[in-house]
């Protein structure tokens, strides 16, 4: 009972539960393949005893050789099939694990303080989850072989000589003891190693992204020195893990070698007549001796296989734990799925489009922000202002349905934000972020984000509204230009105007813009302002977080967070 409880406590068991059936079948095939070696050993024993002329078997040695070959063929085919099944199992587990991770992380709020660096998630998703593959390919069959093959070999050797069985019986069980000791150390070392890889990669990505700053600050030499240190630390740690791994396999090999050598020496001395015990009614012959000599290494082989798979298991376990911890630490989740939805909320006459009452937000650091109530009627223009750090961005995220308010009420045309209607809710809101991230796709894809509207006329109109059309027309590949990380080749002003065009393209009734005129020169700021206001003129409600007095002056109303700036 307690054993069962232990097993379900293991994150790896939970992660790979779906693979059990396939792995069980693969394991049986693998066990049968291993046992066929006993037949092959028998063939060779008979054959050699015939060659020495000591055999009472009348069959020709050629027949034994043929049987040896055929059994070998069957064995190879069984092993091949078993490996195929394991691959299918591993593939299915990895597919599920990746999908689960992507689902969870994509819906984690950027305001979640536990949100890991994107490069860390990417590393987990690709190379770390891939560690499950060798584990699933090797561990279960090896484990099944350990449970059965040594026992069968022990029983088969017993009729020949109880001493041989005794040697194997004594040396064999020592192995798991050592293995467990070494395995525990390996697991700990391997966990450290995996963590190190993640942070090294994240640090490297950061430095590569900050390369211009590093150049300007003349910090290249220092950065390189730091990186050299972390690379060499990684090397030391990796070697630490490997030394333990090698040591454990060395222990195994040592036992296996000692076992085989003892069997060889014992049988040799019995055949010479130097030793007179350990056999039953009469001493065994050359054939039997060869037979047990061939079986001795196979007695240890499953243990060695399991030991090397043990390290795969340790690595897989570390990944499974990391996946679970990551999932458990996700405190701030974005409601909804981020799917496509069509806007359909229509405010009743005299009903506000957006209404918030007594909203508060407690930051993870424990600071509680109290937000002023907002009542926005269709077509209204509202500015939210506050000193830096007063919570303008947090309030905007709340209003945009990116966070569920901890207390207070929030309604869009009379509909409260809930888990089920979040996508639908947000479909009414056009969002303009302060520092957009352009995905690795064409300018067109970045503008439409795969949404419904890539109608050429609407695109042209949106680009004109954002006064970025001439610039796009000037690009050699126009809307097919590829954008890179942080919008390469796109200046701050261009990026802002592109997000304005993106927003205009949707035609949504509520516009939320976070500092829409920051980072911009006067002309561009004016252009962005005009663009936003012309959308408001067409009936959209406009809410901006800003500190720009010019933008504020063009709003109907100003709401202040915290004390007056």
Among 17, 21, 180, 265, binds another protein (CB under 8 A): 265
Backbone angles phi, psi at 34, to 5 degrees: -65, -40
**Which one of 11-19, 23-31, 86-94, 348-356 is the stretch in contact with another protein (CB under 8 A)?**
86-94
Which 502-541 positions form the footprint of another protein (CB under 8 A)? 502, 506, 515, 518-525
> Which residue in 488, 487, 489 sits closest to 502, CA to CA?
487
- Determine the Cα angle at 311 with ends 326 and 232, to 5°: 75
Distance (Å, rounded) from C-alpha 359 to C-alpha 410? Answer: 8
CB of 147 or CB of 217, closer to another protein = 217
CB of 65 or CB of 152, closer to another protein = 65
**Alpha carbon of residue 318 to chain centroid:** 12
Q: Which x/- pattern, by CB under 8 A, does the window 94-133 give for another protein?
A: xx--xx--xx-xxxx-x--x-x-xxx-xxx-xxx--x---
Which tokens belong to 270?
A: 């019995």
Per DSSP, the three-state class of 510 is strand
Determine which helix (DSSP H) or strand (DSSP E) holds 311, and give its type and residue range: helix 286-328
Which 141-160 positions form the footprint of another protein (CB under 8 A)? none
Among 2, 58, 212, 281, binds another protein (CB under 8 A): 212
Contact between 272 and another protein per CB under 8 A = yes
Which 303-332 positions form the footprint of another protein (CB under 8 A)? none
Among 6, 10, 253, 473, binds another protein (CB under 8 A): 253
Strand partners, 542: 381, 511
Contact 216, 271 (CB under 8 A): no
Which 36-65 positions form the footprint of another protein (CB under 8 A)? 44, 47-48, 51-54, 61-62, 64-65
Which 422-481 positions form the footprint of another protein (CB under 8 A)? 423, 426-427, 429-431, 433-440, 449-451, 471, 474, 476
CB of 316 or CB of 429, closer to another protein = 429
CB of 95 or CB of 416, closer to another protein = 95
**Which one of 14-22, 173-181, 209-217, 312-320 is the stretch in contact with another protein (CB under 8 A)?**
209-217
Strand 381-385 to 557-560 pairing: parallel
Per DSSP, the three-state class of 368 is strand
Strand partners, 368: 362
Residues 6+ apart with CB under 8 A from 483: 438, 439, 440, 441, 442, 443, 446, 489, 490
Distance (Å, rounded) from C-alpha 41 to C-alpha 47? Answer: 10
Distance (Å, rounded) from C-alpha 447 to C-alpha 441? Answer: 10
CB of 465 to another protein, least distance (A): 16
Among 17, 21, 57, 91, binds another protein (CB under 8 A): 91
Which 389-418 positions form the footprint of another protein (CB under 8 A)? 389, 392-393, 400, 402
Contact 425, 415 (CB under 8 A): yes
Among 14, 143, 192, 207, binds another protein (CB under 8 A): 207
CB of 245 or CB of 314, closer to another protein = 245
CB of 3 to another protein, least distance (A): 34
Strand partners, 514: 545
Determine which helix (DSSP H) or strand (DSSP E) holds 541, and give its type and residue range: strand 541-545
Contact between 273 and another protein per CB under 8 A = yes
**Alpha carbon of residue 25 to chain centroid:** 27
Which 155-194 positions form the footprint of another protein (CB under 8 A)? none
**Which one of 147-155, 171-179, 226-234, 321-329 is the stretch in contact with another protein (CB under 8 A)?**
226-234
**Which one of 149-157, 180-188, 457-465, 492-500 is the stretch in contact with another protein (CB under 8 A)?**
492-500
Strand 407-412 to 415-416 pairing: antiparallel
CB of 249 or CB of 360, closer to another protein = 249
CB of 18 or CB of 436, closer to another protein = 436
Neighbours of 129 (CB within 10 A): 22
């Amino acid at each position: 009972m307690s054993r069962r409880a232990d097993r379900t406590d293991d994150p790896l068991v939970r992660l790979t539960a779906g693979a059990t059936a396939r792995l069980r079948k693969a394991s049986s095939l693998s066990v049968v393949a291993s046992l066929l070696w006993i037949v092959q050993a028998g063939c060779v024993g008979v054959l050699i005893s015939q060659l020495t002329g000591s055999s009472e078997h009348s069959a020709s040695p050629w027949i034994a050789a043929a049987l040896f070959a055929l059994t070998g063929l069957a064995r190879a085919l069984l092993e091949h099939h078993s490996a195929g099944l394991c691959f299918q199992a591993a593939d299915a587990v990895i597919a599920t694990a990746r999908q689960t991770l992507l689902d969870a992380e994509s819906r984690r709020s950027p305001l979640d303080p536990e949100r890991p660096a994107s490069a860390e998630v990417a590393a987990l998703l690709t190379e770390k989850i891939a560690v499950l593959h060798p584990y699933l390919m090797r561990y279960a069959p090896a484990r099944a072989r350990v449970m059965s093959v040594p026992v069968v070999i022990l029983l088969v050797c017993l009729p020949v000589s109880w001493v041989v069985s005794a040697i194997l019986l004594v040396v064999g069980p020592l192995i798991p003891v050592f293995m467990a000791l070494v395995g525990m150390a390996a697991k700990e070392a391997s966990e450290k190693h995996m963590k190190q890889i993640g942070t090294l990669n994240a640090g490297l990505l950061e430095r590569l992204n900050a390369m211009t700053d590093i150049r300007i600050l003349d910090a290249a030499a220092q950065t390189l020195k730091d990186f050299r240190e972390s690379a060499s630390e990684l090397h030391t740690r990796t070697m630490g893990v490997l030394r333990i791994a090698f040591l454990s396999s060395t222990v195994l090999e040592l036992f296996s070698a000692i076992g085989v050598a003892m069997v060889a020496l014992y049988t040799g001395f019995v055949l010479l007549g130097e030793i007179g015990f350990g056999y039953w009614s009469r001493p065994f012959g050359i054939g039997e001796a060869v037979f047990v000599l061939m079986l001795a290494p196979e007695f240890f082989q499953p243990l060695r296989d399991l030991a090397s798979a043990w390290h795969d298991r340790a690595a897989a376990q570390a990944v499974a734990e990391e996946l679970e911890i990551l999932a458990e630490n996700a405190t701030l989740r974005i409601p909804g799925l981020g799917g496509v939805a069509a806007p359909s909320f229509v405010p009743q006459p005299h009903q506000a489009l957006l209404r918030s009452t007594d909203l508060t937000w407690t930051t993870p650091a424990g600071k509680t922000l109290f937000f002023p109530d907002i009542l926005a009627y269709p077509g209204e223009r509202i500015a939210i202002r506050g000193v830096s750090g007063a919570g303008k961005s947090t309030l905007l995220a709340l209003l945009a349905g990116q966070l569920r308010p901890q207390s207070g009420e929030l309604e869009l045309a009379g509909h409260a934000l809930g888990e089920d209607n979040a996508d639908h809710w947000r479909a009414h809101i056009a969002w303009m972020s302060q520092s957009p991230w352009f995905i690795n796709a064409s300018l067109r894809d970045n503008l439409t984000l795969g949404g419904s509207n890539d109608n050429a006329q609407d695109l042209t109109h949106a680009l004109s509204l954002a006064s970025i059309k001439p610039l796009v027309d000037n690009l050699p590949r126009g809307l097919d230009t590829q954008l890179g990380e942080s919008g390469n080749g796109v200046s701050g002003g261009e990026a802002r105007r592109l997000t304005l065009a993106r927003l205009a393209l949707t035609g949504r009734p509520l516009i939320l813009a976070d500092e829409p005129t920051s980072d911009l020169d006067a002309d561009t700021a004016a252009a962005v302002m005009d663009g936003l206001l012309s959308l408001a003129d067409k009936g959209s409600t406009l809410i901006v977080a800003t500190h720009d007095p010019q933008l504020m002056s063009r709003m109907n109303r100003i709401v202040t967070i915290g004390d007056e700036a």
